[in-house]
Amino acid sequence: MTFTGGAAAAPTRLRADGDTPVDISRVPAREAAERELSDPRYHENDPNLLQRGLSRFWEWLDDLFGAASGATPGGVLGLVVIVLVVTALVAALWWRLGTPHRTPGATGDSLFADGPRTARDHRTAAARHASAGRWNEAVQERMRAIVRSLEERALLEPRPGRTADEAAAEAGRSLPAHADDLRLAARVFDDVTYGGRTADEPAYRRLEALDTALERTRPTLDTASTGTPA
């Protein structure tokens, strides 16, 4: 064996093809090994970039879940129970409150978007949509017929840009017996028009029945003249 003094690196002994020992210092040997291992054939089965990214993500998620379960009473089972309870609360709130509506009175929320038409025109359009099973459009046209009819009867003052919610609130003061039904009708209109909900035949029939009932209802005398509080 060959020894070197001081800080010299210990040589690496290799054998050439003729079995003659060859001394190579440690640094060149390492570089030769790195060049050999950089050959693509040694990396054919390595995971690709996406696989490595997913692997790191799952490791991070596992660490996070482990840390959370360690800090939660009951460990993993306690954490699962908490997640289920929170999910149930969110679902209950969503079911109770429905899809969030845009703020009444915002641009584009006007009840009438296609110019002046009579209540009869809107009722005809609603009936046409209903006969074709287009319940969203039928609900919208029937709500417009209700409001236009109240305007024609001077129970509401015609006002551009009025929303369904505003019309229901104003009309409910002169028709208090139908105030709740008017608010519900406005909410159905908003759900269909702005909330992404889908109407069905029962929803339309309720608005149709409300329209008919309002036609037969006499307003209270103290607020009927202007449609506003006395």
What secondary structure letter does DSSP report for 111? S
* Count of helices and strands (H, E) across the chain: 8, 2
pLDDT digit string, tens, across residues 154-199: 999 888 888 999 999 999 998 999 999 999 999 999 999 998 899 9
Relative to beta strand 21-24, strand 12-15 is antiparallel
Task: Indicate whether 48 pLDDT > 90.
Answer: no
Higher pLDDT among residues 37 and 51, named by residue: 51
Indicate the pLDDT class of residue 10, thresholds 50, 70 and 90: very low
Give per-residue pLDDT as tens, 64-90: 666 666 665 656 566 666 677 678 777
Amino acid at 122: H
- ∠ CA 154-157-160 to the nearest 5 degrees? 140
Average pLDDT over residues 146-150: 93
CB proximity list for 76: less than 8 A, separation 6 or greater: 65, 69
Amino acid 24: pLDDT: 55
* Integer CA distances (angstroms), 203 to 8, 95, 136, in order: 91, 17, 9
- The pTM assigned to this predicted structure is 0.50
Number of CB atoms found within 10 A of residue 95's CB: 8
State the DSSP H helix or E strand holding residue 229, giving kind and residue range, or none if neither: none
pLDDT at 56: 81
The answer to whether 106 touches 164, Cβ cutoff 8 Å, is: no
**pLDDT tens digits for 89-140?**
777 777 656 554 444 433 344 577 666 789 999 999 999 999 999 999 999 9
